[in-house]
Structure 1
Amino acid sequence: MSRLLIVVEKPADWGAYYPSDNVISATDYLKRPLVDGERAQVINLCRSYRYLGIGYYVSLLAEARGHKVIPSVRTINDLRRRSLYGIDIEDLNQKLDRHLPGGDTSEFAATVFFGQTRHAPLADLARQVFEAFPCPILKLEFTRQKVWQISAVKPAGLNTLNEAQEDLFAAALDSFSRRIWRKPRAKRKYRYDIAMLQDPAEPMPPSNPKALRHFIEAGKSLDIEVDPIGRNDFARLAEYDGLFIRETTALDHHTYRFAHRAEREDMVVIDDPTSILRCTNKIYLNDLLASKKLPTPRTEVVFRDDAQKLAALPDVLGFPIVLKIPDGSFSRGISKVSTPEELKSAAAKLFEHTALLLAQEYMYTEFDWRIGVLAGQPLYACQYFMSRGHWQIYDHGAKGTAKSGGFRTLPVRDAPAEVVKLAVKATAVIGDGLYGVDIKATDDRVAVIEVNDNPSIDAGVEDAYLGEDLYRRIMDEFLRRMERKRLGSRD
């Protein structure tokens, strides 16, 4: 079980609260003898985190000792670099006008304790700022000219709080330490911990509940605890050794923020943020595959205001034409058109959601190949058949329901060699994570349809040939990478 350490710059800073064995002065923490393999969660409550000050060294040496610390050195540095504010909280500014006071007020400040604030309308904003800059106490400063904007995000010390704020801080710390840091472990202590991000309410998740249980069991067999977490567990992330995303990913989504944060914490991440970036936007992926001269269906990119190019598509691609929004998944955001009228109508509807569309020739096949690839090696092979009476694998009905075609899972060695080879080549330009490559194969050609950074792994489908060994191989790759990081940190 990890030990919780609350580090204060001076013992008097904790004077408003009950004494606790978890509280230690910064000097005592820095002088503590090193304990090999010690697992500790450190909350650094020093008065200042200025560069090379005592608070800075608490976080720096905590990381050197392998302790999980808040704030991390990266967070401290990010808070010092005002240029990062626009990157991390730009979208938050748009929400301020309806929450902050009106009238002649031009300045406003709010204090955030572990993502909580006494200003109820700013609760969501406080949580998001804490996720961007995980720091125990943050002071948010707002200014208004024409609209309200966040002018500064600053760390604050425990010694600066008034009596009312001390009560709020105590409640937030209690909530944080009980809910966020690691709960007591089961009797067995595992060598590594992986957070498995999932959403039980997702209509079409990448893994069904039975598959998630198989991942947990596979982890146990390798001395890894696989802990299911959700989107509200962002602040817990740093306590783990790895992150395994089992939600459908997107760039404008919490899955990308989780991946990005985990990578910053030097965790093993599947899917990593680079893979999410390269795979979830079909226009980006198309350019990437084309630059490597990998075969794809004939493709054109169409801009919303380019009616001339849209009208010329039948001459370039021929009918039928497949139109795709850049970030669709599970056959959503895709239309097949067979006449100029259908082309114009479908494009107009899709352009409501995006400034660019992907237009591709239609390649008829009875099924699509899906080759799973892990760390550059083929893992599984499936044939996904088109939904009955439909031209896609998934048929999204008018009432919001979806049905899919059948499947056939077979040994990789039984899949066509050219299909497997192309799948591996396609993933090589993305990264070394876990991917599912969709390929169409006809009598005279093979073509990559897309590379999925978060491939479906459902019990009874993708594991139909390998069984439990499929889950173990994925967990074994996590183990290999976590061992490599641990050994590297000792060099």
Structure 2
Amino acid sequence: MAKLIIVVDKAQDWAPFYQYDGVMTLPNYLKWSATNKQRTRVINLCRQAQYLGTAYYCSLLAEARGHNVMPSVRAFNKFNRHEIADIADDVPITLLNQLNKALIDETSTQLTFNIYFGETELKALKKVATYLFEAFPVPILRVELQKKKTWHVKTLKIGSVHKLSESEQGLFGNILERYSHKIWRVEPANKKFKYDLAVLIDAKEKFPPCTPKALELFVKAAKRAAMDVEHIGAKDIHRLAEFDGLFIRETTAVNHHTFHMALKAEREGLAVIDDPNSILRCGNKVYLHTLFEQHKVPMPDGVMLFKQDDDSLVKAADTLGLPLVLKIPDGSFSRGVVKVKTLSELKTQLCALFEQSAIILAQRYTFTEYDWRIGVLNGQAIFACKYFMARNHWQIYKHGTAKTESGGFSTCAVADVPSHVVQAALQACAPIGDSLYGVDVKQDGDKVYVIEVNDNPNIDDGVEDLHLGNKLYDLIVSDFIRRIELKR
């Protein structure tokens, strides 16, 4: 866990709040950091927010020490060498529309309020507060709104903790407690947990990579290894420095908060599964196709089709024959993957898919009753399943208008999988990284074809863990601890 330091100009600035041994003045923080090399997170509440003031120097020197600090120097620089930011031309129309909708019943023409770590007591302005905090991430942001014909943001100012009223102090303290809740936790002398792991989930996700029961089993495995686990969501991105590791159990994508959280966690020095490079490399089928070509990984014959090429249809049909499979680069769970049997279907589907992507991957169609899914962690195969095709369908998932159907499965020991299947899976993962992967392999007699490598493989109770049981979760926890210790 990172050490949390709160820096103030004067000790009395913190007097209204709970006492905490991590509250220091700037000189004391600099003395402390000179001899302490642990991972550190700094919340800078110094008064002098202007350029070259104590607040500016606090963040500048914290960054020089490799500490994670809020506000960052970059955030201070947005205030143009003063305490006030000029953002009149930077506020998007959608935010202004939201602002005017929220204040439709407001009778005054001026409104001033504070945003504390992205939160405000004005519920109607919650989305506005979130946007402004993401654009200007400072602990206290004082916002002045003005109405002429419509409402607009007049000024933004860095707020000061010593200027808060008693009621504002209470609100600030409660929000800070949520933002960095572990500073209020009194650590017992015989601390039970040695490691802290964040598990990113989305309870509303339709096809999550872990069932609730599997998540419970993972938590139990973690506790057996002295690891504390907390489930977090996308809104907790600013809390990542509290943890030693991040386990992403939400379907990932590059243009998605999962990727941004992985990047931030990696910058913070956390052990991360899935790491950003794995998300980037596995999230695009065109990239994987090129990577497999370079590293001689066995895969179906394929060609890349470009939207601007007039001969894409002929190129695909002549090279691969019919039927063939068309894939958009970033599809998942069988979405964005279509089989075409005729030239007419090929033309229709290409037109539709080119609306979503400038490049389409076309591959030779090979039917098998099932796909192997080989789970790989740190270059070792840890589980093996057969995923059977959905009934009367050529894919594992059959998406309908009302529901999605999937085929059955069969789990077995890795030792019982044909060696060339396992070898192909390991060969496919090697140029990607050492994270947790699920490799889909088709077996046609003595021939094998790697279909794709998933950076966020399913681990469901009663499926992937059917052979190993709790040992599967123990293996993942053990590897997290290995990664955390390497970071230390």
Verify same fold: TM over 0.5: yes
Map of 1:369 onto structure 2: 372
Map of 2:401 onto structure 1: 398
Paired with 2:262 and 2:238, the residues of 1 have a C-alpha distance of 13
Map of 2:97 onto structure 1: 98
1:160-239 aligned at under 5 Å gives the runs: 171-178=171-178, 180-182=180-182, 184=185, 189-239=192-242
1:125-164 aligned at under 5 Å gives the runs: 126-128=129-131, 130-131=133-134, 134-137=137-140, 156=158, 158=160
Paired with 2:417 and 2:91, the residues of 1 have a C-alpha distance of 49
Equivalent position SS for 1:98: helix
Map of 1:71 onto structure 2: 70
Please report the TM-score for the alignment, with normalisation by the length of structure 2: 0.81
Equivalent position SS for 1:429: coil
Please report the TM-score for the alignment, with normalisation by the length of structure 1: 0.81
Map of 2:447 onto structure 1: 445
Map of 2:269 onto structure 1: 266
Paired with 1:423 and 1:273, the residues of 2 have a C-alpha distance of 20
Query: Offset at 1:464?
Result: 1.0
- Contact persistence 1:386–1:404 (CA under 8 A): yes
Paired with 2:26 and 2:473, the residues of 1 have a C-alpha distance of 44
Query: Offset at 1:10?
Result: 2.8
Map of 1:146 onto structure 2: none
Equivalent position SS for 2:280: helix
Query: Offset at 1:207?
Result: 0.7
1:25 maps to amino acid: T
1:20-419 aligned at under 5 Å gives the runs: 20-22=18-20, 23-31=23-31, 42-47=42-47, 55=55, 70-71=69-70, 75-76=72-73, 80=77, 93=92, 95-96=94-95, 98-99=97-98, 112-116=115-119, 123-124=126-127, 126-128=129-131, 130-131=133-134, 134-137=137-140, 156=158, 158=160, 171-178=171-178, 180-182=180-182, 184=185, 189-399=192-402, 401-419=403-421
1:440 maps to amino acid: K
Matched, 1:456 2:454: no
Equivalent position SS for 2:311: helix
1:194 maps to amino acid: L
1:469 maps to amino acid: K
Paired with 1:387 and 1:279, the residues of 2 have a C-alpha distance of 24
Query: Offset at 1:200?
Result: 1.6
- Contact persistence 1:131–1:235 (CA under 8 A): no
Map of 2:16 onto structure 1: 18
1:414 maps to amino acid: D
Paired with 1:300 and 1:192, the residues of 2 have a C-alpha distance of 46
Aligned length: 460
2:475 aligned to which of 473, 476, 479: 473
1:427-438 aligned at under 5 Å gives the runs: 427-438=429-440
Equivalent position SS for 1:293: coil
- Contact persistence 2:6–2:45 (CA under 8 A): yes
- Contact persistence 2:142–2:159 (CA under 8 A): no
Query: Offset at 1:407?
Result: 1.1
Q: Deviations over 1:181-202 (max 9, x none)?
A: 2374898630000000111211
Query: Offset at 1:49?
Result: 7.5
- Contact persistence 2:13–2:162 (CA under 8 A): no
- Contact persistence 1:113–1:168 (CA under 8 A): no
Paired with 1:222 and 1:236, the residues of 2 have a C-alpha distance of 23
Equivalent position SS for 1:300: strand
Map of 1:424 onto structure 2: 426
Paired with 1:50 and 1:431, the residues of 2 have a C-alpha distance of 44
- Contact persistence 1:6–1:24 (CA under 8 A): yes
Query: Once superposed, what is the RMSD of the aligned Cα atoms?
Result: 3.9
Map of 2:86 onto structure 1: none
2:444 maps to amino acid: T
Query: Offset at 1:368?
Result: 0.7
Equivalent position SS for 1:381: strand
Evaluate the alpha carbon distance shift between residue 264 and residue 294 of structure 1 in structure 2; reply closer, same or farther with a 3 A threshold. Answer: same
- Contact persistence 1:113–1:169 (CA under 8 A): no
Evaluate the alpha carbon distance shift between residue 118 and residue 306 of structure 1 in structure 2; reply closer, same or farther with a 3 A threshold. Answer: farther
Evaluate the alpha carbon distance shift between residue 484 and residue 389 of structure 1 in structure 2; reply closer, same or farther with a 3 A threshold. Answer: same
Paired with 1:378 and 1:396, the residues of 2 have a C-alpha distance of 30
- Contact persistence 1:92–1:125 (CA under 8 A): no
Paired with 1:33 and 1:429, the residues of 2 have a C-alpha distance of 39
